[in-house]
């Protein structure tokens, strides 16, 4: 049997950060990175923005140039899947039966779009948006002045709506909840984004109960239970994602809406780690169990695993953060907005630049900064250090959120 090193299943942001991090840190064994897509590891955030518009090509999406992996002695296996883990034997089985042994196994299997239970979802020109091929298919199917109906007003849906309406497409966004970005944003931020999209010509419809897609071979309309229908040339469904944890479950690892991992990203098997969208971890700072789908979470968890494998000091948990670019507006979120927080407005939403601060007791827990980068970075520091805050001062735009000594 050949030398067993680190085997990484999944070649997205977490897998790539882990492989390159181990190589840079001088890991002494083979590093194998296995991805099911035919591409070298690439960034997903631009898919709903510049890539779908054709402003950005595949080479610009790559996290590292493809040649980098060979230079660093990382074996990059593209277009292949791992079918099973034999945890007792410390090996994985690839399609076509090949076995790979490991000293450490890292599952970076990501997430996949949630399937919407709706009649006729199998019609042509109905897509989800997760990878390069999805983005290409959407761009290819959408005529220049075509009608795009997006189901789900989350980040993917709204970013895609902004990109496509800017390109002159007719865009409708249908949302089951009462407001856009309901799962992750405060009502004030939702309202700001609804108004921004409507001003740009996006038709936003909330509180809609969709029951079926209509069409012959190709989709022609999306219909609600109350009889309303929206004509469509292309439909994109963006109603969240589910963790790819079947491989872990079949291997007997503890899972609960994600592969359960400890503060160093170790699963219930001492030789198996998990990172990124597929992992659920109790956040050391926020003291809550989280499964996050973000670039920051993927890279932070990958770096925790590098530190653990290389016997370095454990990395401290960062405040989770996210960003979304829609039109010329940048939303930056730090922490997790919860309904039991007290919300404080800083700045004037009508100016297009304001921050929502979310406090529990006298501590800042989360913030949403809209075109306010200084509030984002300074507020994130305040959350991270859990310093006592004064509500009146938080409201005062003339006082920075954090003062250096």
Partner 1 sequence: MKITFLAFDGTPYTVDADEGMSAMEAAINEGIDGIEGDCGGNCNCATCHVFVDPGWQLQVGEVSPMEAALLADRSDLADNSRLACQIRLVPELDGLVLQMPESQFI
CA–CA separation, 110 and 294 (whole Å): 10
Q: Which stretch binds partner 1 (CB under 8 A): 98-106, 194-202, 261-269, 376-384?
A: 376-384
Smallest distance from the beta carbon of 88 to partner 1, in angstroms? 31
Contact indicator for 210, 222 with CB cutoff of 8 Å: yes
Main-chain phi, psi angles of 151, to 5 degrees: -100, 115
Q: Does 320 bind partner 1 (CB under 8 A)?
A: no
What is each CA distance from 403 to 184, 374, 382, 387, 395, in whole angstroms?
28, 12, 10, 11, 15
Considering only residues 45, 110, 113, 347, which one is a binding residue for partner 1 as defined by CB under 8 A?
45
Distances (CA, A) of 269 to 45, 86, 313: 32, 11, 21
Phi, psi of 388 (to 5 degrees): -70, 140
Given 128, 299, 326, 365, the residue binding partner 1 (CB under 8 A): 299
Q: Contact with partner 1 (CB under 8 A): which of 280, 303, 346, 358?
A: 303
In this structure, what is the dihedral angle of CA atoms 283, 288, 292, 296, given to the nearest 10 degrees?
-30
| x-marked contacts with partner 1 along 59-98 as a string, rule CB under 8 A | --x--xx-xx--xx--------------------------
Stretch that binds partner 1, among 20-28, 192-200, 216-224, 285-293 (CB under 8 A): 20-28
Among 162, 210, 306, 366, binds partner 1 (CB under 8 A): 306
d(CA 60, CA 53): 14
- Asked if residue 212 lies in contact with residue 117, where contact means CB atoms within 8 angstroms, the answer is no
Residue of 89, 374, 387, 399 interacting with partner 1 (CB under 8 A): 374
Restricted to residues 323-352, the positions that interact with partner 1 (CB under 8 A) are 323, 325, 330, 332
Here the tokens at position 320 are 């989770």
Among 93, 184, 268, 296, binds partner 1 (CB under 8 A): 296
Q: Which residues bind partner 1 (CB under 8 A)?
A: 13, 17, 20-21, 24-25, 43, 45-46, 61, 64-65, 67-68, 71-72, 295-296, 299, 303, 306, 323, 325, 330, 332, 373-374, 376-378, 380-381
């Amino acid at each position: 049997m050949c030398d067993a090193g680190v085997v990484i299943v999944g070649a997205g942001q977490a897998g790539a950060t882990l492989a390159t991090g181990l190589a840079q840190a001088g890991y002494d064994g083979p590093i194998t990175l296995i991805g099911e897509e035919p591409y070298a590891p690439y960034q997903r955030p631009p898919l709903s923005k510049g890539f779908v518009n054709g402003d950005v090509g595949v080479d610009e999406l790559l996290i590292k140039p493809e040649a980098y992996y060979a230079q660093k002695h990382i074996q990059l296996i593209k277009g292949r899947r791992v079918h099973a883990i034999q945890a007792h034997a410390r090996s994985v089985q690839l399609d076509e039966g090949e076995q790979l042994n490991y000293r450490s196994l890292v599952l970076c299997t990501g997430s996949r779009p949630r399937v919407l239970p709706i009649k006729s979802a199998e019609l042509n020109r109905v897509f989800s948006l997760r990878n390069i091929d999805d983005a290409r298919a959407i761009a290819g199917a959408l005529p220049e002045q075509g009608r795009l109906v997006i189901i789900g007003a989350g980040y993917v849906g709204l970013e895609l709506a902004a990109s496509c309406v800017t390109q002159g497409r007719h865009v409708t966004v249908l949302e089951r909840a009462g407001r856009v970005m309901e799962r992750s944003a405060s009502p004030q931020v939702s309202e700001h984004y609804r108004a921004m999209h409507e001003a740009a010509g996006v038709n936003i419809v909330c509180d809609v109960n969709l029951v079926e897609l209509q069409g012959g071979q190709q989709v022609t309309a999306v219909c609600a239970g109350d009889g309303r229908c929206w004509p469509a040339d292309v439909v994109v469904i963006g109603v969240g994602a589910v963790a790819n944890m079947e491989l872990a479950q079949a291997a007997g690892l503890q899972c609960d809406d994600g592969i359960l991992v400890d503060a160093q990203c170790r699963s219930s098997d001492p030789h198996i780690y998990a990172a990124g969208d597929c992992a659920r971890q109790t956040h050391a700072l926020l003291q809550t169990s989280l499964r996050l789908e973000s670039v920051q979470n993927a890279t932070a968890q990958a770096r925790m695993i590098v530190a653990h494998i290389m016997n370095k000091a454990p990395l401290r948990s960062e405040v989770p953060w996210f960003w979304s670019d829609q039109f010329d507006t940048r939303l930056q979120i730090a922490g997790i907005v919860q309904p039991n927080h007290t919300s404080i407005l800083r700045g004037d939403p009508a100016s297009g630049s304001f921050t929502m601060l979310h406090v529990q007791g006298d501590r800042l827990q989360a913030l949403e900064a809209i075109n306010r980068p200084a509030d984002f970075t300074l507020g994130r520091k305040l959350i991270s250090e859990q310093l006592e805050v004064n509500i009146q001062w938080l409201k005062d735009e003339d006082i920075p959120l954090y003062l250096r000594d």
